[in-house]
Amino acid sequence: MAFPISRINGCLRSELGCNDLGVMELIAQRRRVARMSDRRKYADWQRWCLLMSTILLLQGCGLIYDAVTMVHPLTRDELSAICARERLRVGISVEPFRPFVFPAVYTDEGIRVTGLDIELIREIADALTTHCGGQNPIVPTLHVTRFPDLFIKMSEGQLDLFVSSVSGTVPGTRPAGLWFSAPYLHDDGIAAITQKPEIAERIWTQFKKQDGKQDTLTAVQEAFAGLTVAVQKRRSSHLYAEANLKRIRMVICDSLPASIETKDLNIDVILTNHSILQYVTKRVWQDWRILTQIDGTPWILTHEDLSIVTSDDHRQLQWFLNNLLFRLEESGRLKHMHRRWVEAEYAPTRRATTEGLPLEVTQVPEHYDQGQCRLAE
């Protein structure tokens, strides 16, 4: 029995089904649909992989970020760092320069150091406590080292600042990378002491020769020619002598006490800050005398101001220090501190007990080692 064949929807069809061509077209259509579905699935899979990769990458970046910040914390300004640390790292010279820093003393509360510079450090710490919110005090911790090494430690970031009767106005006293504050002591200067009356007579003779010309440098150079002059290593007196006193026999000492105690070099004159010499010749080494002009006024070789030193990068701390020093000067506090430590009569050990700062026991032996003197090359 035959069945009629008709074309329906483009398919040659009998009542029993499509012919082979229709079947092939149907299969091809289904393959196209399958391929489109596969491409969509592949695209979805790519997007999923990209999303997961991004998530993993971000997590990895976070781990790397955390690792980097653990090794090298994000830079923040130095005042915020001090507030977070709750400590102010302060360098002071191991060589005591009375009355700015006195030798450490043992008290019932432990080892203490006192002096004008120590009182100034306390003022800075108190002002920082207020700046940081006042909830926890900013504690000053003293780092004691040889004077020339203070500049190295400051440059290496081991200190926030240092205070050691440092001059910022004498040429050569400002190393690159360091910043000197506004003065906390104005109009100090380099002066001289001697044990020998004939040295004073020699100087007066040179001043008389000036015949009113007031050429102080020439008088100094002529008066000191051929003398053995002691200075403290890399301090302003050392720099002054190197630059101006070419005809002396210069002795370089690690400290002022070393200059006093050295006997074998037959020192004629010692140079250092006038404020220091004013104090020690009255109360410590009374057999030494400050050299004066004919009218009895102290013989100042050059003027200098004393400053606080910090890093040249610490701009916030620089403004903080200068603003604080301005307030202390305007209020008369700095003058009071100068009178209290340089001019007044007092017992340093008693002040150390009541207002001194603690010093680590490990630093005491070096603190009492005043070093030695040697002839300059």
Instruction: Confirm whether 8 is domain-assigned.
Output: no
Would the pLDDT of 4 be above 80? no
Question: What is the pTM for the complete model shown?
Answer: 0.77
Residue finishing a domain among 286, 304, 322: 304
Least confident among 49-63, 97-111, 293-307: 49-63
Residue finishing a domain among 247, 277, 304: 304
Instruction: Confirm whether 2 is domain-assigned.
Output: no
The CATH number of the domain holding residue 238 is 3.40.190.10
Instruction: Confirm whether 1 is domain-assigned.
Output: no
172 and 315 both lie in a single domain: yes
Residue finishing a domain among 304, 331, 347: 304
311 and 183 both lie in a single domain: yes
183 and 193 both lie in a single domain: no
Least confident among 37-46, 140-149, 199-208, 302-311: 37-46
The reported pLDDT for the residue numbered 31 is: 52
The reported pLDDT for the residue numbered 74 is: 41
59 and 128 both lie in a single domain: no
Would the pLDDT of 192 be above 90? yes
SS3 string of the chain? CCCCEEEECCEEEECCEECHHHHHHHHHHHHHHHHHHHHHHHHHHHHHHHHHHHHHHHHHHHHHHHHHHHHCCCCCCHHHHHHHHCEEEEEEECCCCCCCCCCCEEECCEEEECCHHHHHHHHHHHHHHHHCCCCCCCEEEEEEECHHHHHHHHHCCCCCEEEEEEECCCCCCCCCCEEECCCCEEEEEEEEEECCHHHHHHHHHHHHHHCCCCCHHHHHHHHHCCCEEEEECCCHHHHHHHHHCCCCEEEEECCHHHHHHCCCCCCCEEEEEHHHHHHHHHHCCCCCEECECCCCCECCCEEEEEEEEEECCCHHHHHHHHHHHHHHHHCCHHHHHHHHHHHCCCCHHHHHHHHCEECCHHHHHHHHCCCCEEECC
The reported pLDDT for the residue numbered 27 is: 42
94 and 54 both lie in a single domain: no
126 and 34 both lie in a single domain: no
Residue 36: pLDDT band (50, 70, 90) is low
Q: What is the mean pLDDT of the chain?
A: 83
Number of folded domains in the chain?
Answer: 3
- High-pLDDT (> 70) share of the chain, %: 76
Residue 240: pLDDT band (50, 70, 90) is very high
* Domain that residue 110 falls in: 78-187+307-372
Least confident among 15-19, 191-195, 306-310: 15-19
Least confident among 189-203, 204-218, 325-339: 204-218
Would the pLDDT of 254 be above 50? yes
Residue 175: pLDDT band (50, 70, 90) is confident
Would the pLDDT of 19 be above 60? no
Output 312 or 10, whichever has higher pLDDT: 312
Instruction: Confirm whether 222 is domain-assigned.
Output: yes
Instruction: Confirm whether 124 is domain-assigned.
Output: yes
Instruction: Confirm whether 232 is domain-assigned.
Output: yes
